[in-house]
A = this chain, B = another copy of it.
Amino acid sequence: MGLLSDFGLEDVAVQFARVPMFPIFDLMHYTLSIMYLKHEAGVVDLSRRSPITCWVCSMLCCFGGGMLAAAMLGEPILDPFESNINVFLASVIWYMVFYFPKDLYYRLCSLLPVKLFVVASKEVTRVRKIAAGVAHAHHVYKRGYVVMVAVGIAKGAGSGLLANLEQLLRGVWKPNTNELLNMSFPTKATLLGAVLFTVEAAGWLPLSEEFLILIVTIFLVTTKVTLTAMHSHASPFDPIETPLCGFLFGAAPPDSDGHGHGQSSSGPAAPAQQGKAEPTEPALRKRKSKKAE
């Protein structure tokens, strides 16, 4: 800490933590969330047939994390809608993404330089939300570490976790995949971030919360912007994840085709029809991971 202060990094972190999310960063978050919704199959059609459903799904994409976190903590799930100005801005963005003449807003934001800025802004808001979620849960449960991690994840990656519900609202049902089963990179990063903020809140980390926000933000923004620029959906965690999973759980992570080799150690009670209900479809995962960004 002393060293950090000498380099002035601590000051930078404190300054950065004071940058308000409203309105620019929030607007970018709404824009990207609703753009990903529009990207889904059938949604453009839905926006003509049932604008209300389209609006409700868009709000779920924008505020789903806060709703899930509120439900987890027994608070009103409509809490995120208390702020009229935020709902109004999200609604304006919704209208612009879906109904702007000649689709100009969507096209503009799809241009790579603009998109990189939007993506970076969204990750900035995500880290703030993780930190806020952990802090909020810490306020309610002083020592409930699992609750703190869970609420942090919910706030940071909630709309991805609620994707099945959001799809159901617009009449689409894909039960054989979800964000938990096929975690995208942002969700994994959110999990890691939530653990870090929980460790910090528990007082086991020699770093201030502001500093942690800064470094997690730098990591997430650079990684996500790089991945977006390269049109890649690979996860930078794979090199660590694969051997770690192999060591801890005796198996390769999702991408491998080694369905069979775990069978032998599963005992006599293991059912015969394994691996039928959950196909590992790379194409499915790719579309999914795009969604949850």
Question: Which residues does A use to contact B, with CB under 8 Å?
Answer: 38-42, 44-53, 56, 70-79, 81-82, 84, 87, 98-99, 102-103, 106-107, 110, 140-141, 143-147, 150-151, 164, 168-173, 175-178, 180-183, 191, 245, 248-254, 258-259, 262-263, 265-271, 273-278, 280
Contacts and interface: CB of A to CB of B under 8 A. Distances in A.
Given A42-B276, A49-B251, A274-B44, A70 B81 contact: no
Contacts of A173: 173, 175-176
Contacts of A253: 49
A183 B278 contact: no
Contact of A180 (B75, B141, B169): B169
A176 B147 CA distance: 33
Contacts of A263: 44
Contacts of A147: 76, 78, 81-82
Nearest to A86: B146
A249 to B, nearest CB: 5
Contacts of A274: 41-42, 44-45
B269 A42 contact: no
A205 B175 CA distance: 46
A280 B71 contact: no
A111 to B, nearest CB: 11
A249 B51 contact: yes
Contact of A76 (B38, B42, B72, B172): B72
Contacts of A79: 74
Contacts of A181: 50, 53, 169-171
A75 B77 CA distance: 10
Given A53-B180, A169-B180, A143 B278 contact: no
Contact of A106 (B98, B180, B267): B267
Nearest to A75: B74
